[in-house]
Structure 1
Amino acid sequence: MSLLELFIIAVALSMDAFAVSICKGLCMPKMNWNNAVIAGLYFGGFQSGMPLIGYLLGSQFKEAITSFDHWIAFILLGAIGFNMIKESFRKEVEECEASPMAPGNMIPLAIATSIDALAVGVTFAFLQVQIVPAVSFIGATTFTLSILGVKVGNVFGTRYKSKAEFAGGLILILMGIKILVQHLLGL
């Protein structure tokens, strides 16, 4: 997997965290950089940990499913992408918590926004991706985009939340199609 492909996947996976970070920024009457870094650490940490767990799980079963691993990657990335696109059309109004950066608020959000990264980690095992650089890159990208999301939310509001989720979903679907086509064409 090329660095460009990894960057595209990292950005796509970060879109859920970016969208939630926008909501966190909405809840701040004034920009708080400490809270932005806290959001980045939660989301970046979970976004790098989940693909590692997925990779370890996928590595256990790689030999048994090598003949159809491209279909698994295609289906997982497509399903995750489709779900992100579907979520982008929701018109829910986010509520602000009393302490938005408390662990009780952030941990469930970090887990929820990184479940798709777990599935991507499984596909990384099938594609024989070097996992340590990959998860480090995904974590750093999510960390950066989460901080940016808090700032965007604080300045612009909800205008970009659904667009970010839609773009992330579309990118994952396209990556799944690319993996399948490359395998079927023997590239």
Structure 2
Amino acid sequence: MNLASTALLALAMSTDAFAAAVGKGTALQKPRWSEALRTGAIFGVIEAITPLVGWALGYAASSYVKDWDHWIAFTLLTVLGVRMIVAALQAPDEDDAEKPARHGFWLLAITGFATSIDAMAVGVGLAFLDVNILPVAVAIGFTTFIMVTLGVMVGRLLGNIAGRWAEAIGGILLIGIGTAILYEHLAVA
């Protein structure tokens, strides 16, 4: 996996977390940079760990599916991309409750984990491609940290619509990466 693919994958993996962060930012009363950095750190660490877990699970099973690895990666990335696009197109829920000044740690951790399930699935797919997962996981975690930190502040300014579009773009990027993996394998064969 080259640097450009790693960067695009990290960006794609961070867009659903960005969308959630925009929502978190809109749910707070004028969030400060300290809250945005805290939220970014929680999401970034979780998003870096989940592809490692997925990679370990996929690596354990890779010898059984070596002939189908490119199809598995393509399918996983396409399904995740379509899921992200569909989620982006659904109308956001409106909440009229009082806005808190800060979100609790466990709420952020659970939200971070929920948005990182796709990174775990990507880790599984990357194990089939024999990719060095550590730099990919670090790139995903760091990009998520930046995107979530900015997402909280964007949420303060723009509201929910920016997060929905970011998630749709992330889904399109995932489908593109999956298609490129499949094309690369089929063109060589």
Distance 1:130 1:178 in 2: 18
Listed one character per residue, the Cα deviations across residues 6-60 of structure 1 (whole Å, up to 9, x for unaligned) are 1101111101110011011112332311210111111111111000001111110
Change (3 A) 1:66 1:94: farther
Q: May I ask how many residue pairs the two structures share in their alignment?
A: 187
Distance 1:99 1:30 in 2: 7
Contact kept in structure 2, 1:39 and 1:147, CA below 8 Å: yes
Distance 2:130 2:67 in 1: 14
Contact kept in structure 2, 1:10 and 1:141, CA below 8 Å: yes
Percent of aligned positions with the same letter in both sequences? Answer: 39
1:24 aligned partner: 24
Aligned 1:79-98 pairs, distance under 5 A: 79-95=79-95, 98=100
Distance 1:100 1:71 in 2: 43
Q: Return structure 1 stretches of 4+ with deviation > 3 angstroms.
A: 94-100
Task: Output the TM-score relative to the length of structure 2.
Answer: 0.94
Aligned 1:72-151 pairs, distance under 5 A: 72-95=72-95, 98=100, 100-151=102-153
Question: Any unmatched runs of 5+ in structure 1?
Answer: none
2:165 aligned partner: 163
Task: Output the TM-score relative to the length of structure 1.
Answer: 0.95
Distance 1:108 1:43 in 2: 9
Contact kept in structure 1, 2:29 and 2:100, CA below 8 Å: no
**Alpha-carbon RMSD:** 1.5
Distance 2:118 2:27 in 1: 26
Distance 2:88 2:58 in 1: 29
